[in-house]
Amino acid sequence: MRILVILNGEYGERHAANVRSHAPATWQVNTWQAPRVLPPVIDYPEDYLPPTLPPADLLLAVAEHKGVAELLPDIARMTGAQAVIAAVDNENWLPRGLARQLRHWLADMGVACVTPKPLCSLTPTHYHLGRRQRIAYDHPLIAEFARLFGQPELELTVDPENRTIVAAEVRRDSVCGCARFVAARLIGTSVDEAEQQAGMLHHHFPCLASMGIDPDYGDTLLHVSGHLLREQVAGQLQAYRRVSYIVPGHRSE
C-alpha cells in the first residue's frame, strides 16, 4: 500500500514518523509538507500545490490548518488515491462542517473518506464523530491501515502471583505512537495501578489532541483519547483486580 501523509507541523511529523517506523515492509510511506499559511478560502488550489506528488493509494491528512482539507480532493486526483483518512484531533484544524463537506466532495469523486474524531477512535470497521456518533465504513485500504494504527489495542500478560504486568504486546498502535509508548512503560506495574498509570503516561507522551472542550463530546479530545486507552487497559485487568468492600458498622443504641 502506498501512503501519502499530508502534514505541516510537529503534530503530523510525529504521526508520519511512527507510521514509517512500524509499517509493514510492503507499505510505502511518503510525506508532503503543506503550506503553513493559507487564506481563509482557497479559490485556486493549484496555487498551493506542487507540480507533482508521488502516487498514493491512501492519503493520511494530519495537517494543522483547516485550509489543507480544501486541497485534499485535488491531491486525491493528482495521486490517484482511492481513500482518505482526515484526522480530527482539533476542531480548529478540521471543523465538523468542513469535515462533512470533505466526505461529500470525495464521495462524489468515488474516493472513500473517514474523519475520525479523535484519530485514535479509528478501527477497521468504524470511527467516532462524537459521544454517541459511531460511524461504520467499509473500505479495504482504510481497514488495512486501521488494522495496525488507530484505536489502541494491547494484549497484556499478568503474573497471577504478584499481580503485575509482565508483558505488553501492541496489536494496534495509536497513529502517533502513544499506545506503544504506554505499553512499554506498563511492564512491572501492579494491576491495581495500571489504569491510572496508563492515563498518566498518555498525558506525558504527550497526546497532542485538543485541550479545548469539544461540543460533540462535552469534553476535551485529549481526555477522550486518554479514556479510550485507559478502557483498553482496564478491560483486560478486571479479572486480576482486588475489589474492596466497606461493611458499615452497626447502629449504636
Q: DSSP label at 248?
A: P
Task: State the total domains in the chain.
Answer: 2
Coil, strand or helix at 123:
coil
Q: 140 with 159, same domain?
A: no
Say if residues 191 and 158 touch (Cβ distance below 8 Å): yes
Distance CA 74, CA 202 (A): 35
Which triple of cell numbers denotes residue 225? 483519547
Closest CA relative to residue 155, chosen from 147, 142, 166: 166
Distance CA 223, CA 205 (A): 13
Could you read off the pLDDT of 39-97 as tens digits, one per residue? 888 888 888 999 999 999 999 999 999 999 999 999 999 999 999 999 999 999 999 99
Write the CATH number for 170. 3.90.1010
Distance CA 198, CA 68 (A): 33
Work out the average pLDDT over 16-27. 97
> What pLDDT was estimated at residue 216?
94
Question: If pLDDT is split at 50, 70 and 90, which confidence band does 243 have?
Answer: low
Work out the average pLDDT over 203-226. 95
> What pLDDT was estimated at residue 246?
60
Which structural domain range is residue 39 located in?
2-148
DSSP conformation letters of 42-81 = -S-GGGGS-S-----SEEEE--SSTHHHHHHHHHHHHHT-
Which triple of cell numbers denotes residue 140? 479495504
Q: 132 with 14, same domain?
A: yes
Pick from 148, 173, 204: which residue ends a domain? 148
Q: 13 with 100, same domain?
A: yes
Q: Who contacts 132 (Cβ-Cβ below 8 Å, separation ≥6)?
A: none
Work out the average pLDDT over 155-166. 94
Could you read off the pLDDT of 67-76 as tens digits, one per residue? 999 999 999 9
Quote the mean pLDDT of the chain.
93
Distance CA 211, CA 55 (A): 35
Q: Who contacts 25 (Cβ-Cβ below 8 Å, separation ≥6)?
A: none
Looking at the predicted structure, is the pLDDT value of residue 247 above 70? no
Question: If pLDDT is split at 50, 70 and 90, which confidence band does 240 have?
Answer: confident
Q: Who contacts 37 (Cβ-Cβ below 8 Å, separation ≥6)?
A: none
220 within domain boundaries: yes
Q: 125 with 184, same domain?
A: no
Q: 167 with 124, same domain?
A: no
Q: 69 with 187, same domain?
A: no
Which triple of cell numbers denotes residue 104? 461529500
Q: Is the dihedral of CA 237, 240, 241, 245 positive or negative?
A: positive
Work out the average pLDDT over 169-177. 97
Closest CA relative to residue 139, chosen from 46, 57, 214, 238: 57
